[in-house]
Amino acid sequence: MTQPLGGIILAAGLSSRMGRFKPLMEINGRSMISHVIRMMRDAGAGTIIVVTGFHADELEACLSTENVECVHNPDFAHTQQLDSLRLGLAALRGRCERMLISPADVPIVRPQTVRALLAIDGDFIRPVFNGEVGHPVVLSAALIPYLMTYDGPGGLRGAIEHSTYSLRELHVDDRGTVLDNDTPADIDRLLQWYRDDAAKQKEGTPK
């Protein structure tokens, strides 16, 4: 039976600039990738595919209780993110109507942002914060055959922008959509934003 929504988490990278394995670094007591899994689960994703590469055995062991499916990219050190995405797309083909897609290092996105993205009709929907394109993105399963054979420039972004499929953008005030984490300084920035945003959201909650 086809599910309304699936998820793909890209976690095959080398984490070379961080010096530590990013998906398993903790943010507020949970690993980065666990935050992304929870975001997708809360959004209604049924099957979630994690594309592994570097430290695959360690990552898969840590995810053994998360009810996700892992697909390994054996050429992770020599391929691009679109190649890992294709492995996830192949695993979800025929199983869902739409997909949430995110790298493992974008761990803190507001639930209301994800709900707003999913409320938009279109082949490809992405958030934009202050002119910067972020994650997660929403992809229609109708694009899978095209993406599996695309050989032009620019990875996923180039594939969408050079296609005839509908691209929709949602302008958001959620900085978490663009806070990826490549260096220790990025982690410090993310933690500060997380604390500040949590306080802001709490102040805005009706008493």
Q: What is the DSSP string of 149-179?
A: H--SSSHHHHHHHTSSS-EEEEE-S-GGGT-
Sign of the four-CA dihedral 149, 155, 156, 161: negative
pLDDT (tens digit per residue) in 138-197? 999 999 999 999 999 999 999 999 999 999 999 999 999 998 777 888 888 888 888 887
**Do 179 and 129 form a contact (C-beta atoms < 8 A)?**
no
Confidence (pLDDT) at 96 = 98
Mean pLDDT of 45-55: 96
Instruction: Give the Å distances, CA to CA, from 14 to 19, 21, 97.
Output: 9, 8, 31
Other beta carbons within 10 Å of 170: 19
Distance separating alpha carbons of residues 138 and 115, to the nearest angstrom: 11
68-105: pLDDT as tens digits: 999 999 999 888 999 999 999 999 999 999 999 999 99
Q: Which ranges constitute the DSSP H helices of 4-80? A: 32-43, 56-62
Minimal CA–CA distance to 184: which of 12, 20, 10, 14? 20
For residue 1, the model assigns a pLDDT of 76
Give the model's pLDDT for residue 200: 79
